[in-house]
Amino acid sequence: MSEQELKWKKWFIPVVISIVAVILVIVAAVCVIDPFFHFHKPMDGLSYILEDERYQNDGITRHFDYDCVITGTSECENFRSTLTDRLFGVKSVKVPFAGGFFKEISEAEARALRYNPDTKMVIRSIDQGFAIFDKDYWNENAPKPQYLYDNNVLNDTEYFFNKKVLVLYLPQEIARSVSGQAPDSFDEYARFAEDRPLGRDIVVSHLPHYPIAADQPPISDERRKILTDNVEQNVLTNLKENPDVTFYYFYPPYSTANFYINYLVKGQYTEYIDTMRIMTDMILDYDNVKLFCFFDEYDMVTDLDNYSDESHYSGEISDDILKWMAEGSHQLTKENYNAYFDEIQDFYGNYDYESFFREPAEPLSE
């Protein structure tokens, strides 16, 4: 072997060993600290950051100790686990999916129930605004880290060498732990109530002023089919397959501004009410579900000071929703839901939406 080959060999072997050592250290650090809880539940003494729903939720339901799951869209992000536990006598985890459509949330709900057979309760928002979408529709803007949801160890390399994990989570969680900072709680996880200002002026400032459509047709047969397929696959399946679990489902109480801009202006108001009637009738075929709607809290829904936009309500309203469900208040039944939606349809169909504005409405462009 030539002198040059010997020098190359002496250089190459240490470099390879060093690279392998670095890789092993990285893999070990990710496995031990496990900021996405992919491999194990939180370790005592580590200060975990909770902030990445679609990266952490599956690990939470896979490994944490709980008997109640809080899930849904951003409409349940302000729920507090401590209040939930006190009101319902449970130990809860909160795993919301902001902007999540029915399929994504249904699959996450199903995984949680499969991971933990001791689960006795689910609290979930049934966002009526996302109901008439294809049953397989997925928010294209939402991350989908499938490597965290499956059991394929071969694709875990995407976790081991995730830039955010290596640059953000590992250093910060180590620093927080050394300084004695407590890990984030489920009260804090995904909560935005203290970060988004509320108020009528804020809501109306983002609200176009258009005339209400004169024609408000009922739901068509085609759209009814899309709705029922979506509900059948992504709501009823988990009810059927988990008869011993109690499901607390609720329609989020969007503001009057939402009725106006998303339905009345577009001529879809009757369809919107029909949507809730149809979903309610389908869901209430199951004895293990309790379904709630809060649109008859008229003072709350018409007061835009309770909202940060047309759909998202304050932390206080989030607390009220939990309290009402625990009390059984605003619960829909087979006997009362048609009368309930008759009243709702009349009230919001005749509300003075012009009171939002100071200037006359602009005509809608063709």
What mean pLDDT do residues 56-82 have?
A: 98
How many distinct structural domains can be found in the chain? 1
Residue 143, in any domain of the structure: yes
pLDDT-based confidence at residue 15 (cuts at 50, 70, 90): low
Which has more confidence, 1 or 167? 167
282-292 CB burial, b ≥16 within 10 A, e <16: bbbeeeebbbb
Count CB neighbours of 82 within 10 A: 11
Domain that holds residue 217: 34-356
**pLDDT category, 154, cuts 50, 70, 90?**
confident
Mean pLDDT score across all residues of the chain: 93
In a domain, 54, yes or no: yes
Averaged pLDDT for residues 337-355:
97
Q: Is the pLDDT of residue 104 over 90?
A: yes
**Do 95 and 115 touch, CB atoms closer than 8 A?**
no
In the prediction, which pLDDT does 245 show?
A: 98
The radius of gyration computed from the CA coordinates of the chain, to the nearest angstrom, equals: 25
* Token reading at 238: 């988990």
pLDDT of residue 4: 58
Angle between helices 269-283 and 221-231 (to 10 degrees): 40
Which structure tokens are listed for 345?
């349809």
Instruction: Compute the average pLDDT of residues 248-253.
Output: 98
What is the length of the chain? 366
Residue 303 in 3-state DSSP? coil
Lowest-confidence segment of 23-32, 89-98, 259-268 by average pLDDT: 23-32
130 located within any domain: yes
pLDDT at residue 40 greater than cutoff 80: yes
28: confidence class by pLDDT, cuts 50, 70, 90: confident
> Does 184 fall in a domain?
yes
DSSP track, 12-37: HHHHHHHHHHHHHHHHHHHHHH-TT-
Q: Could you give the C-alpha distances from 18 to 9, 91, 163, in angstroms and in order?
A: 14, 46, 20
- The predicted-structure confidence for 271-316, as pLDDT tens digits, reads as follows 999 999 999 999 999 999 999 999 999 999 999 999 999 999 999 9
For residue 211, give the H/E element and its range.
none
Q: Is residue 68 part of a domain?
A: yes
Give the residue-averaged pLDDT of 247-251: 98
Identify the pLDDT of residue 192: 97
Please report whether residue 152 resides in a domain: yes
Residue 13 pLDDT more than 90?
no
If DSSP states are collapsed to H, E and C, what string results for 120-151?
CEEEEECCHHHCCCCCCCCCCCCCCCHHHHCC
Judged by average pLDDT, the poorest of 18-22, 99-103, 193-197 is 18-22
pLDDT beyond 70 at 3? no
| 1 found inside a domain | no
pLDDT tens readout for residues 309-329: 999 999 999 999 999 999 999
Token pair belonging to 188: 């804090």
pLDDT class of 29 with cuts at 50, 70, 90: confident
CB 103 within 8 A of CB 138: yes
56-to-156, 190, 260 alpha-carbon distances in Å:
14, 11, 36
Q: Does residue 361 form part of some domain?
A: no
Partnered with residue 71 across adjacent β-strands are: 95, 124
Task: State pLDDT tens for residues 198-229.
Answer: 999 999 998 999 999 999 999 999 999 999 99
In our burial notation (b when 16+ CB lie closer than 10 A, e otherwise), range 62-77 reads bbbebbbbbbbbbbbb
Nearby residues of 308 by Cβ (< 8 Å), 6 or more positions away? 196, 197, 198, 202, 203, 314
Arithmetic mean of pLDDT, 189-198: 96
121-125 β-sheet, strand order: 92-96, 68-72, 121-125, 246-251, 289-293, 331-332
User: pLDDT band for position 82 (50/70/90)?
Assistant: very high
